[in-house]
Chains A and B, each alone.
Chain A
């Protein structure tokens, strides 16, 4: 009803125009004002669980979570004070007191939001000692590893799976310090394996098995391309290290997929460097395939296609291409079929 209205608020004394449906965090982010966050994810519903984003609001006695607090006209917000810094620091310190210190071998190191916050607050010493949660690593599937020893219970995977993917494969279980993310009755993960939870996880609790120990975030070159597994045309970022694809990540701010991927786009890249992959052409001689040079193979194909086309016509030939080829290969193939062969009988395993 008021969505179109503009509210005048101040953040740290600075006049800011906010939309009526803004939270404090959104209004601040638009102005480039930094408020640290952890359980917040721009695509998911506000949660207010981590308490890292607390700010103070004039007239409200308690600190409030900026990710959930709606703005009101005339609101006066402070994002920084001694108490706010102390609360944020204590919260991160508490999380670290129940978190493995194995950043040196953690897949998430370098893009870990917890690591960044620990650095931001200079937490080189943890005052709290005590029990550390111990969970068995869950990895009874080919692609997704869940190491809940690293989980900080921000709930981003739960919301991603429920709100965006619509699957609801995981949720919170148990209470108090024993609270954890779990499947129903702690059963084996039964989901679509889209891996979008990995993208949502701020720490290294959820990782893609095909990428393990293949490359640090700062070591890879990111190449933006389009996934060719189906006709959706999702934008993807191929992470390349030393000429090898080590990981596929979504393009966060663009593409029709808005950062989401499916199991194929996310994990289906291992064939590229797979040892079983054909590296030389094979020509059938006396009923058996034998290795041949490219020239020899192309000569065989050209001769046979030319002969068939001449004898039976262009439409006697059909072409079927593969999602395992690049988009560029697929484009050239259909071009070849239409121009060189002269037929529209061309298809692809994903039917696009």
Chain B
């Protein structure tokens, strides 16, 4: 093909993940190349390179779409130095660069997904309101303001079956009806964007990728309950999301989608951004309110519920990002359509941050009710390196671990709770045989203990005592009775804690004892870590017949724990060794092995 294309559109993934993988440099390289060839000048507005939000398949960032005369080609793992060849061979030469094309994994990753809330995320430029308007953006709020009464909006959301995506799964329309009925003229909508689960990036990706959907959703919610002001409580650790949201709010104001008398419909609504200071507990709604009011982020008992007495003592609705960003799509396509997706009690889709030992990590959106197995082996492409699946953790640090025998469990609020996990806000961490479940429970409990606000005793002291027992177990100092004490205390903490943080903090421990008790027993009784993770329970040894006296391990050991040298047998000094594993990695002869300490003790 010799004729040059008449229109060129390049989309570069520039969510936080895309930028970290080099998205900004890739973008710049495309712009330079197109300018250099004179294509930009020649085709003008028909030659564009634009940024898009997270496209989901973060494992293959930077993802780039090259659209020539309407024909889309997707490349994966693109780096800036690959751009000249892409431009030369594909854009100028008309032949796609085969070896860099997104492959079957990309297809498989997307095949099992159903995109609602993410449908425009990753395809539109999040910094251009016109891009959102081009995909019917802001038609939902215009429909609501022009054709519907507030109670009709609430009924529509009730009919859709939408439940809170922050984790608890409370029916959104029902929650709104409480605030709508509450007395008072001053009411508030708060968007909870204080996403704090380790490894979770659902809400960040939505705000970075399609901030206008959130703004539109908040406006719809504001109209439904009678609020004229909304707050977005967002983590300060999300600078790009904050920047894009602030930019989008400015644009929405300029186009009269926010502000006084929106689109001449007689409804005032505006949004303020409040940046959080990094406390996980501020994801809890009453703590979040306290933080907006300028107080310390500490939860208070409910009732009164925020729908009756919330921010500044006024009726307040708090919904998370994903819940709110679903609203424009429900209004546009109808509640029947939304209710047709998902399972009987959990309607619609759910976004997950799929991470851990799965081949295809990234941001996914699946219909509710899909089996865990389909996510992990279908979308996720199975376990890396062909290793054995061990467990999947849902619901972040407050969630539970689900073992292989329960992989048919459907992903919905009730089914996950039944197996001792929770839906949570969408964290999904896959673990394989190399993960120690005891250490995993210790890690999550360490997180929740550090993030406990300290207000109530069970959470502040109880999780600390549980953590200390786990620390002893992974250090080989577990005792008979430890598991019984953990379970007993864990149940008391769940029953007695003030807020959701304490009420769920013991979940990772309780669920791993339930499904992986043999691993705990191995640590406590046999002082053995079956996964070989707990450093106190193994040592490295040089296998003398295999050692070729090369001295490489001696040179590479970062703490000087290996004696010997060239032509001298290596010897590991246990006291100095920090068990980093570098010696095992570098030894060309596999002459260093990891052995359990109880074996050395027996010898």
- Taking Cβ atoms with an 8 Å cutoff, the residues of A that contact B are 46, 48-51, 54, 62-65, 68-70, 83, 86-87, 90-91, 94-95, 97-98, 127-131, 152-153, 155, 171-172, 174-180
**One of B35-43, B111-119, B340-348, B461-469 contacting the partner:** B461-469
B280 and chain A: residue at smallest CB distance: A175
Q: Is A63 in contact with B453, judged by CB distance below 8 angstroms?
A: no
Q: Is B462 in contact with A94, judged by CB distance below 8 angstroms?
A: yes
| Separation of A112 and B431 alpha carbons in the complex (Å) | 49
B498 and chain A: residue at smallest CB distance: A48
Q: Is B449 an interface residue (CB 8 A)?
A: yes
Query: Which of these, A68, A127, A176, contacts B454 with CB under 8 Å?
Result: A176
Q: Is A175 in contact with B452, judged by CB distance below 8 angstroms?
A: yes
**One of B90-98, B189-197, B207-215, B489-497 contacting the partner:** B489-497
| Shortest CB distance A309–B (Å) | 64
Q: Is B485 in contact with A176, judged by CB distance below 8 angstroms?
A: no
Interface size class of B (residues with CB under 8 A): 20 to 34
**One of B251-259, B295-303, B363-371 contacting the partner:** B295-303
Contacts known (A63-B496, A86-B492, A172-B296); A49 close to B455, Cβ less than 8 A: yes
User: Please, which residues of chain A bring their CB within 8 A of the CB of B449?
Assistant: 176-177
Q: Is A130 in contact with B468, judged by CB distance below 8 angstroms?
A: yes
Query: Which of these, B450, B458, B492, B495, contacts A175 with CB under 8 Å?
Result: B450
| Shortest CB distance B184–A (Å) | 12
Q: Is B465 in contact with A130, judged by CB distance below 8 angstroms?
A: yes
Q: Is B457 in contact with A94, judged by CB distance below 8 angstroms?
A: yes
8 A Cβ contacts from B488-509 to A? 489, 492, 495-498, 503
Q: Is A90 in contact with B489, judged by CB distance below 8 angstroms?
A: yes
| Separation of A176 and B461 alpha carbons in the complex (Å) | 8
7 shortest A-B CB distances, which residue pairs?
A: A179-B454, A48-B301, A130-B468, A94-B461, A68-B301, A177-B464, A128-B465
Q: Is B454 in contact with A174, judged by CB distance below 8 angstroms?
A: yes
| Separation of A87 and B456 alpha carbons in the complex (Å) | 13
Q: Is B460 an interface residue (CB 8 A)?
A: yes
Q: Is B461 in contact with A51, judged by CB distance below 8 angstroms?
A: no
Contacts known (A70-B303, A97-B465, A127-B485); A50 close to B492, Cβ less than 8 A: no
| Separation of A87 and B41 alpha carbons in the complex (Å) | 74
Q: Is A91 in contact with B458, judged by CB distance below 8 angstroms?
A: yes
User: Please, which residues of chain A bring their CB within 8 A of the CB of B452?
Assistant: 175-177, 179
| Separation of A65 and B458 alpha carbons in the complex (Å) | 13
Q: Is B88 an interface residue (CB 8 A)?
A: no
Which of A64, A91, A176 is most buried by chain B, counting CB atoms within 10 A of its CB?
A176
Which of A86, A152, A174 is most buried by chain B, counting CB atoms within 10 A of its CB?
A86
Give 17 A-B contacts (CB < 8 Å), ordered by A residue: A48-B301, A50-B457, A51-B497, A51-B498, A62-B495, A65-B301, A87-B496, A94-B457, A95-B461, A131-B464, A153-B457, A172-B455, A175-B450, A175-B453, A176-B451, A176-B460, A177-B460
Which of A46, A49, A86 is most buried by chain B, counting CB atoms within 10 A of its CB?
A49
Q: Is A51 in contact with B301, judged by CB distance below 8 angstroms?
A: no
Q: Is B218 an interface residue (CB 8 A)?
A: no
User: Please, which residues of chain B bring their CB within 8 A of the CB of A176?
Assistant: 449-452, 454, 460, 463-464
A92 and chain B: residue at smallest CB distance: B457
| Separation of A65 and B455 alpha carbons in the complex (Å) | 13
| Shortest CB distance A175–B (Å) | 6
Q: Is A172 in contact with B298, judged by CB distance below 8 angstroms?
A: yes
B449 and chain A: residue at smallest CB distance: A176
Q: Is B485 in contact with A175, judged by CB distance below 8 angstroms?
A: no
Q: Is B456 in contact with A98, judged by CB distance below 8 angstroms?
A: no
B502 and chain A: residue at smallest CB distance: A51
User: Please, which residues of chain A bring their CB within 8 A of the CB of B485?
Assistant: 127
